[in-house]
Structure 1
Amino acid sequence: MGVALRDILADYKIPVTAEELTGVAAVDAFNALYQFLSIIRQPDGTPLMDDEGRVTSHLSGIFFRTANLLQQGIRPVFVFDGAPPEMKTNTIQERRNIREESKEKWDKAKREGDLSGAFRYAMSSSALDSHVISSARTLIGLMGLPVVEAPSEGEAQAAYMALKGDVDYVVSQDYDTLLFGTPVLIRNLTISGKRRIHGRQVTIQPERVNLVEVLQNLDITREQLIDIAILTGTDFNPGIRGIGAKTGLKKVKSGDFDAIIRDKLPDFDPDPIRDFFKNPPVTDSYSTQSSPVDRDGLLSFLCEEYGFSPDRVIPVLDKIAKKEKQKTLESWF
């Protein structure tokens, strides 16, 4: 879900090209996997599957999209979520309920021949199970890219890595990453290009959000941005009905945050949420170093185990190998 800060951040989302994003990117892995599972589907919403009925939409997304990023000089580091905090329990259950309800609506739409409705409901039914997560990790490793295991929220770990300077920016669709302190958030990177949305084709372009620019232009601190998020709702609290981002901004800047909480939510203590965003569980036990692509391993994994077409996979591997060779030659000069 993330936080509903779009209305106050719209003016600070700057379109960028791939050429401007050359460097090391910490990718919120769960966020990217949800995107691939949601978007890469057949017209009736059915995900891509192998002959055994195992979902492969996420593998297609990781392999082909990551190969494109590597070609553009962007080196991803995939950060996976760890154990969620107890404060997130209600949100997790709500998301589970939404998925189950969407699955029922998807099945009904398919029976009725409503393809557009079926696809829409199918997108909301996407779930990350153990197969999706483990197979994603395997594929990323075979591509020679680092996997970082966060102790808790992946966005928090990614932001920490950006703050340390170990990565150049964080890739996620959710604005939570800004609350965790990432200096630069890049949205739409893993889904950029032409997409069909609500029955029409649109072009989605990567966009950059710079935290310092946001805070300076809104004339607030990061702590105040967190308070705005708490008023509108986060993954750890439902927020206050009727308060959106713009109203939240006004209330926080006028110093009314505490009074609103006492009046509307007298039994709610915002301090644990504030502290979690400012001091989340993170680890220094990670590496951002890549390794050579395991060409034979990828062919075996994708083509032999999951039934991908060698005619599609091999040309991509050739492009990656060419890029790796080019980088090796450049390192000599």
Structure 2
Amino acid sequence: MGNADLRSLASIRDVAFADIEGSVVAVDAHNWLYRYLTTTVKWTRDNVYTTAEGTEVANLVGIVQGLPKFFEHDLVPVFVFDGEVTEFKSREIADRREKREAAEERLAEAEERGDAVEAARLEARTQRLTDIIQETTRGLLDRLDVPVIEAPAEGEAQCAHMNAVGDVDYAGSEDYDTLLFGAPATLRQLTSKGDPELMELEATLEELGLMREGLVDVAMLCGTDFNEGIAGIGPKTAVSEIEEHGDLWGVLEARGESIPDAVAIRSLFLDPPVREDYAIDTTLDPDLEAARRYVTEEWEVDPAEVERGFERIEESIAQTGLDRWT
């Protein structure tokens, strides 16, 4: 679910890494990368990840810092990238762009008055996944032999599909949309310290007394990345309304409300465009030296900022099961 307020409806529990070792995780690449990108920018000097020509590649620092969490726990990440932007999500993207531009204005003001802390916070909020970041992310993952899949549309939907058909053990995302797209099991907090959270679809539906269609209806009433919600309806009210009126259409009729493109948006969640022609090789053979050269020489990232991450990857290769590595 795009709306974090709906966390109160999802069945989420802590899970120990020891209980999921050896698993394959389809990672919502844009979601994962953006979180590392913003935290890297917030706490790292920009000269560390900026080339002589002024190109920012903070993503490379974030990837090297973030991947060890998978490898150290014998997890194989499969990075799934968004494809074409759906018609309905263009509104959400426009809203994000407007917020980013506002943050850029405040950033300039903070820099002018010498407020370094506020500037760092605002700079993180102005980050976006540029073409160079997209290119270099794939370039580094390729050298580390991490599987990459290009989704036709929403990355979360592709992750959910791969989880639902059993090709991966978990979807990995901080977004709640994986539930709506039908992922049976989603790992959250993969960019945070400590153990992850497990969000389960069947347990969520059982606790709410809903079918998946009803869960999608609840989300649409509250608001998603693809539509604005109905004023005055929060998560608990939405569940009650669906119970009383049967489905989204019954609630809208009873309230005299409407949601533009509701049929298409509902269908997008329940039957999203996904790719079937993919292959996942879980036997990894990372070329660490090539990866180091790519990051520190070709893209001029300060070696001191990434060396520990590369060391952790190398150590994990030696320590985890040998059947996972060639």
Fold-level similarity (TM above 0.5)? yes
Aligned CA RMSD, in angstroms, stands at 2.6
Which residue of 1 is the match for residue 12 of structure 2? 13
Which residue of 2 is the match for residue 85 of structure 1? 86
Which residue of 2 is the match for residue 199 of structure 1? none
Q: Which deviates the most, 255-264 or 160-169?
A: 255-264
Residue pair 1:188, 1:207 contacting (<8 A) in 2 also: yes
Q: Which deviates the most, 289-298 or 143-152?
A: 289-298
Question: Superposition pairs for residues 1-333 of structure 1, below 5 Å?
Answer: 2-9=2-9, 12-22=11-21, 23-42=23-42, 48-52=48-52, 53-189=54-190, 191-193=191-193, 205-255=195-245, 257-262=248-253, 263-266=255-258, 268-290=260-282, 291-310=284-303, 313=306, 316-324=309-317, 329=322
Q: If the length of structure 1 is used for normalisation, what is the TM-score?
A: 0.87
Q: If the length of structure 2 is used for normalisation, what is the TM-score?
A: 0.89
SS in 2 for 1:292: coil
- TM-superposed CA distance for 1:234, in Å, is 1.0
What is the CA–CA distance in structure 2 between the aligned matches of 1:20 and 1:278, rounded to whole Å? 30
**Gaps spanning 5+ residues in structure 2: where?**
none
What is the CA–CA distance in structure 2 between the aligned matches of 1:33 and 1:311, rounded to whole Å? 21
Kindly provide the CA deviation profile for residues 137-177 of structure 1, in whole angstroms up to 9, marking residues without a partner as x: 11111111100000000000000000111111111111001
SS in 2 for 1:185: strand
Q: Which deviates the most, 16-25 or 135-144?
A: 16-25
What is the CA–CA distance in structure 2 between the aligned matches of 1:331 and 1:82, rounded to whole Å? 29
What is the CA–CA distance in structure 2 between the aligned matches of 1:116 and 1:9, rounded to whole Å? 35
Residue pair 2:9, 2:235 contacting (<8 A) in 1 also: no
What is the CA–CA distance in structure 2 between the aligned matches of 1:126 and 1:319, rounded to whole Å? 27
What is the CA–CA distance in structure 1 between the aligned matches of 2:126 and 2:229, rounded to whole Å? 24
SS in 1 for 2:78: strand
- TM-superposed CA distance for 1:124, in Å, is 2.3
Change (3 A) 1:210 1:329: closer
Kindly provide the CA deviation profile for residues 176-201 of structure 1, in whole angstroms up to 9, marking residues without a partner as x: 01000000111111x212xxxxxxxx
Residue pair 1:172, 1:187 contacting (<8 A) in 2 also: yes
Which residue of 2 is the match for residue 198 of structure 1? none
Kindly provide the CA deviation profile for residues 22-49 of structure 1, in whole angstroms up to 9, marking residues without a partner as x: 2111100000111012111245985852
What is the CA–CA distance in structure 2 between the aligned matches of 1:15 and 1:174, rounded to whole Å? 16
What is the CA–CA distance in structure 1 between the aligned matches of 2:259 and 2:60, rounded to whole Å? 45
Change (3 A) 1:29 1:264: farther
What is the CA–CA distance in structure 2 between the aligned matches of 1:31 and 1:320, rounded to whole Å? 22
SS in 2 for 1:118: helix
Q: Which has the higher contact order (CA 8 A, sep 6+)?
A: 2
- TM-superposed CA distance for 1:3, in Å, is 2.7
The residue identity in structure 2 corresponding to 1:268 is P
SS in 2 for 1:40: helix
**Gaps spanning 5+ residues in structure 1: where?**
194-203
The residue identity in structure 2 corresponding to 1:271 is V
How many positions carry a matched residue from both structures?
Answer: 320
